[in-house]
A and B are shown apart, each in its own frame.
Chain A
C-alpha cells in the first residue's frame, strides 16, 4: 500500500555511525506518505532520535540517501529544509515572548509585520494559546510551552513536522489529552507528522503507520492493527502489547503446511512452511479460561492459577501450564459478579483458536 502512494520522505539504506563508533542507525529504508501520521517506535537508545535528526539535517548520514518531497537532502542545510521540528526539550527561546517565539520563523523569512502578527495569532489560536502571546516562556506550564513549540514549527507550514518524544515530559493525564489534540491538529493542518516515541500505546493510538526499531534496525513497518495482530518477529510481538510465547520446533511438510511441536501444547498444524526453532504466540485477550476442557479446533492446556490481578474492567489471570512463564489471560469482567470468579491454585484450562496463534520464526 505504501508504495502505491507518493511518499513525502523517502529513506534508502541510511546508516549513521557516530564518531565514537556507535552505530546508531543501521541500513534503514522507509517511506513516509504525504499527509500521514507516522511514528518511529522503539526502546530508548535504538536510534529513533538519530533518524529524526537526520531528516531535520542535524546529523549527517554516514551513507544512504534521504529525499524529502522528491529532493535529495544530502547538501541541504537544516535551515533550508522543508521540515520543522518540535524538540524534546521544546527549546522555546527564554528571552523572547510567546508571540516572538512563534513569529521567529516568519521574521527570518522577512515577512511584513502585519502578516506576522496575523499568522502568529492564528497559530496561537490553533494550539489554544490565543490569549498568551505576551507571556514569557518561564511564565508557562510545560504543556503550554510545548504548544508554543508546536505553533512555532507549524506557522512555517512545513511539508513535514518532526516531533521528538513530544509528550514524554508531560504528566499522564495531560499526555492523554495531548495525544488526542495532536491527532486533531494533524487532521486540521493536513501536514505530515513524524513522531518519535518509546511509548507503544502512544504510537498505536495516534499513528497511521508505525516503524518499530531495535538497535538501529527497522524491524517492521505497518499500521497499528497489523503490528499488533501480525507482528513479524518476537521483538515486535513482545514490544507491542503483551504476548504469551511458547518455544517449539517447526517442520514444513512440503505442501504449504507446517507442523509445530511445543512441549506444553503438543503438535499443531499451521499454514506456511517454516523449519527449525519457532515461537508460538498468543495475545492475552484471545486466551479463554474455563473449568471444563474446551472442545473444538483449539490449542489448550491445563494448570493451576498462580495469580489473579483485578483491574476493574478486566482481570489478568496467570495459569501455569508448564511453559517458561505462566500463561496470561485477560478476562473481561462483563458481568457484575465481583471479578472473574476463579481462585488461586484452582486447576483451569486455557485455550485459544489456532487462527489466533502467531508463528514467529525470528
Chain B
C-alpha cells in the first residue's frame, strides 16, 4: 500500500469528494440535531442553545417510554416473524435448481425497486374491507353457503346471515404485516448468503451419521448459519424499529411507533429540540443493538476457533 502516497493527487481526488459529501450531508446535519437536542424552543422557528437536559427528561416520561417499549416490541415480533418465514424461503432458494435460484432471488429483491409508499398502498388494497383478501374470503363464503344449500342445510345460516369482511387494516396486526413485508428481504438475503456458503458435505455427513433432516437442521445447519442469522436479525430489526410510514398508513390510533412521534415533533408539533432528543435516544438504542451483535460475533469466533 505504498503507491497511493506517491500519487497523492489521485488519492485526494478519490478520497476528498466522498469525505466532503459525508461531512456536508451527514455529520453536519447530525451535529445540528445533536445540538438541538440540548436546546430550548423560544419562538415558532427559533431555538436557543441552552444545553439543557429538559428534552431528554421529557423523552423518558412514561408516555414516551411506553411508545418506545411498544416500538421495540413491534420490531421484535416483526424480526421474529421475518426469521420464521425467511429461513424456509432462504433454504428453498439455496436448494432450488441453479437456474431457478436467480429468479427466486430476483423475486426477493424486487420490492426494493418499488417505492415504499406504493408498496404500502398496494398492501392496503389487499387488506382493506373491500380488498383482495376479503373478496377471496367472500367468494369462499358464497360457495360454502351454496354447498350447504345443496346438501339441504341452507336454511340454518350456519355461516352467519351475511358475509362479514375481516377488519385487517388500521390496527397493530396490519402494522406488523406491513413491517414483515418490508423487512423480509433484509432477513432473507443474509440468510441466503450464509446458507449458500455452507458446505453441503456437512449436511450429508450429519445424515450419514444417522441424523434425520430435522436433527441435522438444528445441530448442523442452524449453528453454522448463526453469523447469517445474527446479521439478518440486526439488519431487519434496526430499520423496523425506526419505521414511520408503515405504522402511519396501516396502523390505528394506538399503533404509533417512536418514529411517528419524532416525525410529529419536527412537523405538526414543531418542537425540534424534543424531536432531536428522541432521535438520539433511538440512535443510541440502535448502537446498543449493534454492539450486542459485535460482541456476539466475537464470542462466536472464539467458540469456533
Given known pairs A19-B97, A91-B201, the reply for A78 and B207 (CB within 8 Å) is: yes
Contact of B202 among A78, A93, A108, A138 (CB under 8 A): A93
Task: Tell me which residues across on chain B come within 8 A of A77, comparing CB atoms.
Answer: 207
Does A87 contact B223, Cβ atoms closer than 8 Å?
Answer: no
Nearest CB of chain B from residue A359's CB, rounded to whole Å: 45
Does B303 contact A95, Cβ atoms closer than 8 Å?
Answer: yes
For A80, A88, A105, A136, which residue has the most chain B Cβ atoms within 10 angstroms? A105
Query: How distant is the Cα of A56 from the Cα of B304 in the complex, in angstroms?
Result: 29
Interface: A297 (CB within 8 A): no
Query: How distant is the Cα of A84 from the Cα of B209 in the complex, in angstroms?
Result: 7
Does B305 contact A136, Cβ atoms closer than 8 Å?
Answer: yes
Interface: A255 (CB within 8 A): no
Given known pairs A19-B97, A89-B199, the reply for A138 and B305 (CB within 8 Å) is: yes
Type the 1/0 row for A84-114, where 1 means its CB is closer than 8 Å to any CB of B: 1101110101110000000011001100000
Contact of A95 among B97, B199, B223 (CB under 8 A): B223
Type the 1/0 row for A64-93, where 1 means its CB is closer than 8 Å to any CB of B: 000000000000011110001101110101
Nearest CB of chain A from residue B6's CB, rounded to whole Å: 39
Query: How distant is the Cα of A77 from the Cα of B210 in the complex, in angstroms?
Result: 9
Nearest CB of chain A from residue B108's CB, rounded to whole Å: 24
Interface: A152 (CB within 8 A): yes
Task: Tell me which residues across on chain B come within 8 A of A19, comparing CB atoms.
Answer: 97
Interface: A156 (CB within 8 A): yes
Contact of A156 among B204, B207, B209 (CB under 8 A): B209
Interface: A58 (CB within 8 A): yes
Query: How distant is the Cα of A77 from the Cα of B213 in the complex, in angstroms?
Result: 11
Query: How distant is the Cα of A15 from the Cα of B205 in the complex, in angstroms?
Result: 24
Interface: B206 (CB within 8 A): yes
Interface: B43 (CB within 8 A): no
Given known pairs A108-B209, A138-B304, A138-B305, the reply for A91 and B215 (CB within 8 Å) is: no
Does A87 contact B97, Cβ atoms closer than 8 Å?
Answer: no
Query: How distant is the Cα of A108 from the Cα of B216 in the complex, in angstroms?
Result: 10
Type the 1/0 row for B262-305, where 1 means its CB is closer than 8 Å to any CB of A: 00000000000000000000000000000000000000000111
Does B211 contact A56, Cβ atoms closer than 8 Å?
Answer: no
Does A104 contact B97, Cβ atoms closer than 8 Å?
Answer: no
Given known pairs A94-B224, A138-B304, the reply for A56 and B210 (CB within 8 Å) is: no
Interface: B46 (CB within 8 A): no
For A56, A77, A79, A84, which residue has the most chain B Cβ atoms within 10 angstroms? A79
Question: Residue on A with the closest CB to B210?
Answer: A108
For A78, A109, A156, which residue has the most chain B Cβ atoms within 10 angstroms? A78
Given known pairs A93-B220, A136-B305, the reply for A105 and B204 (CB within 8 Å) is: no
Question: Residue on A with the closest CB to B213?
Answer: A79
Nearest CB of chain B from residue A296's CB, rounded to whole Å: 58
Nearest CB of chain A from residue B230's CB, rounded to whole Å: 14
Interface: B161 (CB within 8 A): no
Task: Tell me which residues across on chain B come within 8 A of A94, comparing CB atoms.
Answer: 224, 304
Nearest CB of chain B from residue A111's CB, rounded to whole Å: 11
Query: How distant is the Cα of A163 from the Cα of B206 in the complex, in angstroms?
Result: 16
Query: How distant is the Cα of A153 from the Cα of B223 in the complex, in angstroms?
Result: 21
Type the 1/0 row for A137-167, where 1 means its CB is closer than 8 Å to any CB of B: 0110000000000001100100000000000
Interface: B61 (CB within 8 A): no
For A88, A95, A152, which residue has the most chain B Cβ atoms within 10 angstroms? A95
Task: Tell me which residues across on chain A come within 8 A of B209, comparing CB atoms.
Answer: 79, 84, 104-105, 108, 152-153, 156
Does B202 contact A91, Cβ atoms closer than 8 Å?
Answer: yes
Type the 1/0 row for B210-230, where 1 means its CB is closer than 8 Å to any CB of A: 111001000110011000000
Question: Residue on A with the closest CB to B211?
Answer: A108
Interface: B208 (CB within 8 A): yes
Task: Tell me which residues across on chain B come within 8 A of A95, comparing CB atoms.
Answer: 223-224, 303-304
Question: Residue on A with the closest CB to B209?
Answer: A105
Task: Tell me which residues across on chain B come within 8 A of A79, comparing CB atoms.
Answer: 207-212
Query: How distant is the Cα of A109 from the Cα of B257 in the complex, in angstroms?
Result: 50
Query: How distant is the Cα of A91 from the Cα of B303 in the complex, in angstroms?
Result: 18
Query: How distant is the Cα of A296 from the Cα of B304 in the complex, in angstroms?
Result: 71
Task: Tell me which residues across on chain A come within 8 A of B305, comparing CB atoms.
Answer: 136, 138-139
Task: Tell me which residues across on chain B come within 8 A of A56, comparing CB atoms.
Answer: 204, 208
Task: Tell me which residues across on chain B come within 8 A of A58, comparing CB atoms.
Answer: 204, 207
Task: Tell me which residues across on chain A come within 8 A of B210, comparing CB atoms.
Answer: 79-80, 105, 108-109, 156
Contact of B201 among A87, A104, A138, A156 (CB under 8 A): A87
Nearest CB of chain A from residue B209's CB, rounded to whole Å: 4
Interface residues of B in 97-153 (CB under 8 A from A): 97
Does B205 contact A85, Cβ atoms closer than 8 Å?
Answer: yes
Does A85 contact B208, Cβ atoms closer than 8 Å?
Answer: yes
Task: Tell me which residues across on chain A come within 8 A of B223, comparing CB atoms.
Answer: 95
List 13 interface pairs A-B (beta carbons < 8 Å), by A numbering.
Answer: A19-B97, A58-B204, A58-B207, A78-B204, A78-B208, A79-B209, A84-B208, A87-B204, A91-B201, A91-B202, A105-B210, A136-B305, A152-B209
